[in-house]
Structure 1
Amino acid sequence: MVKITAAELQKQFGRYREVAIREPVSVTHHGRDSLVILSAKEYRRLKALDRAKAVHPWELPDDLAQALETASPPESTKQFDHEI
């Protein structure tokens, strides 16, 4: 994966747009990874693999809602109770 700075992207957007069509381009800001540019084709491919779905609590199936209501944390997590 090509790695560039945000400043480089601003100066040479056309060049890196073409690179991103072939492979992802990682953009850094202040030395830290900030975003990745990738082709629309690759984005669509990745989205097709994404099976996650966000729902409101009232949209959950009854059996899952009931399971969440009756669930309790394992004993091993008691050590963190003071953080609540």
Structure 2
Amino acid sequence: MTEFTVASTEFQNRAGVYIERAAKDPVFITKHSRPVRVLLDIDEYRKLRRNYREALYASELSDDHLQAILTVELPAEAEALNHEMTEPKIK
């Protein structure tokens, strides 16, 4: 994937050209030589959103989410990972 950069004024003047360009590669739009926006093909954007994960602190979880975590049924294969939870013994 090739990066393509355009100044915001140029983008405003020829938006149609850059919308077409974004079908192939992301178009980075700059202001004062610094990237401020990225124009992406819709399928690429959807792929990024589908893979998006948000990390939270336990204190940020709702009571319902905490309860779900505490009561979840783990698959039998998960038992094989319990050894990862113990501290290694220093010899």
Unaligned runs of 5+ in 1: 65-84
In the alignment, what sits opposite 2:81? Answer: none
Structure number, greater radius of gyration: 2
Query: Quick one: structure 1 residues 7 and 54, their matched pair in 2 at CA, closer, same or farther if it must change by over 3 Å?
Result: farther
Q: Per-residue CA shift, 1:27-75, capped at 9, x if unaligned?
A: 000111111110111000011111226698351526x9xxxxxxxxxxx
The structure with more helix, counted as a fraction of residues: 1
Runs of 4+ in 1 over 3 A off after TM superposition: 53-56
Q: Aligned partners of 2:13, 2:5: CA distance in 1, in Å?
A: 15
Mapped partners of 1:43, 1:58: distance in 2: 27
Gap change, CA 1:37 and 1:61, over 3 Å in 2:
same
2:60 match: 57
Look up the match of 1:14: 16
Partner of 2:85 in structure 1?
none
- TM-score after normalising by structure 1: 0.64
The number of residues matched between the two structures is: 63
TM-score (norm 2): 0.60
Distance, in Å, in 2 between the alignment partners of 1:58 and 1:48 is: 21
